[in-house]
Amino acid sequence: MRKLSDVLLQRKKIRLTPFRVKEIIEDISEIPQGVQMIQAPALWEKSNKGEGVVIAVIDTGCQTDHPDLKDRIIGGRNFTDKGEPDNFSDDNGHGTHVAGTIAATENNSGVMGVAPLAKLLILKVLDKYGSGNYQNIIDAINYAIKWRGPNKEKVRIISMSLGGSTDVSKLHDAVIKGVKNNIIVVCASGNNGDNNSKTDELSYPAAYNEAVSVGAIDFLKRITKYSNSNNNVDLVAPGDEIISTYLDGKYAKLSGTSMSTPHVSGAIALIINMCEAEFGRTLMESEIYAQLIRRTTSLDLDKRSEGNGMLDLSRI
């Protein structure tokens, strides 16, 4: 017999953090402004552009044949009740956009991601409406922890641009388990901000202390009005009018803390490669976090909004 708590986890909804689609673009060829703003190209040579680092993207899936993404996907799984388990295609667009900011490949057209040689494990947990349940997320995190690639690769980073208003102990346990397995868990802080840094807006799993909570700034380095504020925000990254990959092989400008999060996830892939080459060993999750926070610049704003500051990979 299923426990009542398990039934509630299936029924309790979790959603994409609300986001805005500004514009859909047919064709483009550029390094997006957000990728440049965090100074990702400054680390590309030393980090080999994130090659070999596997990032699990827990989201709406991904357009697996998008020209900028098809060579970056190492595997995937569908945890929703729609479609077969091996069909992790994206029917929303959000997951494809997130994936592109992390790792869109260098192919002389389209866009480039923060870590254009990293590998993506696509874990679909949300449907075309951006809705799912807590159990989907928990199952995807546990899957990412146990997953092994064709050459025994392991997931090093989990990226989640989603959230819910309910603190669920089993979700917290899954995040803790990931961290204990040396996976750094990066989450969108949420888009329920009221433009007042003194008030708390909490979204889970970002609000868990073990997660890296990412807020949003615009290209003028201002905190966006919608970005959540609370004591668990770790840092901020570009999240307003971010250009990345989208459905049907196209590109789009989207806004939200969902767009900030993949900048950080991709940046961590660069940091892992650079620092592990320098130190000659595998870094622990706590060490990776410390190296990430070293590469932030304070914007002299309330810490509840900016955390440790803006992601800046030029800082060493």
Q: Which position has the token pair 């993506």?
A: 120
Phi, psi of 283 (to 5 degrees): -85, 145
Sign of the CA dihedral with 296 first, then 157, 123, and 133 last = negative
**131-133: strand order across its sheet:** 131-133, 13-16, 162-163
Coil, helix or strand at residue 235: strand
Identify any residues that bridge with 75 across adjacent strands, giving them in sequence order. 121
Could you tell me if 311 and 236 are in contact, meaning their C-beta atoms sit under 8 angstroms apart? yes
Q: Round to whole Å and give the CA distance between 243 and 252.
A: 5
* DSSP code of residue 204: B
- The Cβ of residue 130 has, within 10 Å, a number of other Cβ atoms equal to 20
**Residues labelled as active-site residues:** 59, 94, 258
First to last CA, the chain: 55
Q: What's the token pair of residue 17? A: 């953090």
